[in-house]
Structure 1
Amino acid sequence: MEKDDMTDERRLPDVLKGANGNAIKTVEEWRGSRRPEILELFRTYVYGREPVGRPASQVFETVITPGTMNGAAVRKQVEIRFEGQGGTGKVRLLLFVPSEGKGPYPAFLFLNNRGVTEMDPERRDISMFWPAERIVARGYAAAALDLEDADPDVDEGHRNGVHGIFDEYDGERPKDAWATIAAWAWAARRAMDYLATDPDLDAGRIAVAGHSRGGKTALWAGALDERFALVVSNESGSTGAALSRGKRGETIQAINDRFPHWFNGHYKSFNGREEALPVDQHMLIAALAPRSVYVASAVQDEWADPASEFAALAEAAPVYRLHGYKGLAGAPFPAPESPLFGERMGYHLRSGGHDLTAYDWERFMDFADAGALK
């Protein structure tokens, strides 16, 4: 695949120009005005507005089992419980902490979008989609949550899951009400609430990672929650890491038609009108600065569009430079299996199709080893 040649034609919103037309020239201006403005635009037009942060009722119930993974890890099964006007709910977090070495440990929080069979607590069914053993062997704690604990991945009018617990709307939901990706991101932040309290973990060295819809969720969760030191988005494509303007493969209309529950009501009005959207995904990546971000693509995943995923990183780089980091420093689009590790930014293109593999995880951890988490 050749380097994206459409960037100049995309007419992207200027990430360093405020809505008032003023240029953003300092970190203070970015943090004080432009970054909050960008998050508000994404709430309004894309992901929706969450009505609650950390619930006052939230509690953790933990079961600890030492000697798992043939003695290599301690297993912690955590139920994060909460309640709202619509009832009670819980999100289950599975965590393996290394038994060897010296803590507190950095950790990868994986947002699992393929069901609980991918995160077997007994480790009878081991999958490279979440290779917890490999993560632990590299000196990281391996945490995972099943996204559908927070909200079922079905178009049911946002009545179930955390929407049904916390929504307080009379009649029709507002166009900017939170949708499913936002509900999943909310759950990721509640998992971070627990991870930040675990004495075996280093709360300043927690990564959030996801694949496909989980990768979209990781980006939004990471943008909202600055406790995540590293955000990893694997093949997240449309309304994830890929630019919407000029995108090949899955468009805004295609994703809204197939998954109308993922994004808020306003987002549907931009079907076929990407150029009218006041944001694009480079702005979401920029909102992570100065924290680390890693984006991964696959050669055959044309629906996600690797060129647009890489271009979004390049277009977010000015904000990283504003913070004193070079990002990927103008690196060209790489060949497969030629990962790029820059200052606070990483990227790789893998051979094959839409999946999350051992190769991907090893590169995520290589990037973390290179300074993102260690």
Structure 2
Amino acid sequence: MLKPQPAASPQNLTVLMILSVVTLMLVLAVCDSAEPKRDTLPKILAESSTPPPELKNDFGEYHSLLLDRNGDELSSLEKWQVRHSELRNEWTELLGAWPPLIERPQVEVLDATDRDEFNELKVRFLWTPKEHTTAYILVPPGEGPFPGVVTVYYEPETAIGQGKEYRDFAYQLTKRGFVTLSIGTTEATAQKTYSLYYPSIDNAEVQPLSMLGYAAANAYYVLATRPDVDAERIGIVGHSFGGKWAMFASCLFDQFACAAWSDPGIVFDDDRPNVNYWEPWYLGYEPLPWRKRGLVTPENPASGLYPKLREAGRDLHELHALMAPRPFLVSGGSEDPVERWKALNRSVQVNQLYTDEPRVFMHNRPDHSPNKDSNEVIYTFFEYFLKSSPAPETQD
């Protein structure tokens, strides 16, 4: 027969309760330290993470991305990841497959200059299997490893501070502690062919805008293989032509941890001459001679892939979703007004399968050109997601 146990004294009960509370606090502390917290989202990013009330849950004519090929709803992350792979394969087939990436680039330093408390390197490397480019790497003081950003434009000098005002993304980010790599299509811009054509301009097997994305992916490896750069914290940014370039590069190449697209025209818009994806140097490639530049009309029709995409009901919100769960910022101007949230709301839906934290941002200004305020949002975005906080995991 079991003997009855003596009742615990009030003193013993108090000790046990204290020990239990202390143990619980220690367990919570260990768990909390094992899962680092993000900094508080800066106010300007928080304000840019949701559409105005009248556009919330307004998807316009942009079809849902959370449907499979049979039209059934994708209710789980696992099902979306299958659809993610399908979308990537579909767009690869449409745009043309990239050549093998140059993951171990040979970088030749042409010149080195101390400038404004950072180091400027003029470099040369292969950015396609057949073509070298001349670019600039800006390195802040210190040992690193630093976060990095690739900047893209018509030529590489503007981003390092030798061009139009408020387009000096590389210069400003380096002043903020980033290693930056500025690239641009200098020769093609001079020839007014603007883009990259593989294997040749007479017989391009990859849509030129996608080939620009390939070149940016190779630029990523130029930064990622540097000992002073953290390969897990590299983003990309560009304005206008560069915005289109940065968008396609980041959507098609998972290694970019985040991206900012400045007023590229993030979706197809046949009524705006600067949202001109139909041009042969973007998604309307055809052998020379090319159509007269400008809006598509019966007298000046588009050719190549672009009209096929439009007839099939495809749009670029499908590419945006390939960013998930990596964050991106649309720095919208005249070509990307606040109404573009109708397309971005589809990416918000996808990202909600991964996290409750904001991953889709848009800040708006009235003009196409960037300005001090819009650029400050871009720099805050990169500082938050690449510099002061851990970068999110990329899509498997």
- Give the TM-score normalised by structure 1: 0.74
Tell me which residue corresponds to 1:286: 321
Larger Cα-atom Rg:
2
Q: Write the letter of the residue equivalent to 1:267.
A: Y
Tell me which residue corresponds to 2:216: 188
Tell me which residue corresponds to 1:335: none
Structure 2 residue 77 is the aligned partner of structure 1 residue 27: yes
Structure 2 residue 218 is the aligned partner of structure 1 residue 218: no
Residues 74 and 6 of structure 1, relative CA distance in 2, 3 Å threshold: closer
Q: Give 1:26 deviation, angstroms.
A: 2.7
Structure 2 residue 259 is the aligned partner of structure 1 residue 231: yes
After superposition, give the CA deviation of every residue in 1:48-97 in whole Å (9 maximum; x if it has no partner): 1134021589532234625322xx1122222112675xxx4102231111
Distance between the aligned counterparts of 2:215 and 2:336, measured in 1?
Answer: 27
Q: Alignment partner of 2:352: what SS?
A: helix
Q: Give 1:191 deviation, angstroms.
A: 0.3
Q: Give 1:248 deviation, angstroms.
A: 7.8
Residues 251 and 311 of structure 1, relative CA distance in 2, 3 Å threshold: farther
Q: Give 1:143 deviation, angstroms.
A: 2.0
- Quote the RMSD (CA, aligned, Å): 3.4
Q: Give 1:346 deviation, angstroms.
A: 2.0
Once the two structures are superposed, the pairs formed by residues 39-188 of structure 1 within 5 Å of their partners are 39-45=88-94, 48-55=95-102, 59-63=106-110, 65=112, 67-69=114-116, 72-81=117-126, 84=129, 88-100=130-142, 102-113=143-154, 115-119=155-159, 127-148=165-186, 154=192, 161-164=196-199, 177-188=205-216
Any conservation in 2 of the 1:60–1:78 contact (CA below 8 Å)? yes
Distance between the aligned counterparts of 2:341 and 2:84, measured in 1?
Answer: 21
Residues 346 and 11 of structure 1, relative CA distance in 2, 3 Å threshold: closer
Residues 146 and 21 of structure 1, relative CA distance in 2, 3 Å threshold: same
Residues 348 and 64 of structure 1, relative CA distance in 2, 3 Å threshold: same
Q: Write the letter of the residue equivalent to 2:246.
A: A
Q: Give 1:319 deviation, angstroms.
A: 0.9
Query: Unaligned 5+ residue runs, structure 1?
Result: 327-342
Residues 117 and 151 of structure 1, relative CA distance in 2, 3 Å threshold: closer
Distance between the aligned counterparts of 1:133 and 1:364, measured in 2?
Answer: 13
Query: Unaligned 5+ residue runs, structure 2?
Result: 1-50, 285-303, 389-396
Tell me which residue corresponds to 2:364: 349
Q: Percent identity?
A: 21
Distance between the aligned counterparts of 1:135 and 1:350, measured in 2?
Answer: 21
Q: Give 1:307 deviation, angstroms.
A: 3.2
Q: Write the letter of the residue equivalent to 2:362.
A: Y
Paired residues, number: 319
Distance between the aligned counterparts of 1:186 and 1:43, measured in 2?
Answer: 12
Any conservation in 2 of the 1:80–1:190 contact (CA below 8 Å)? no
Any conservation in 1 of the 2:59–2:343 contact (CA below 8 Å)? no
- Give the TM-score normalised by structure 2: 0.70
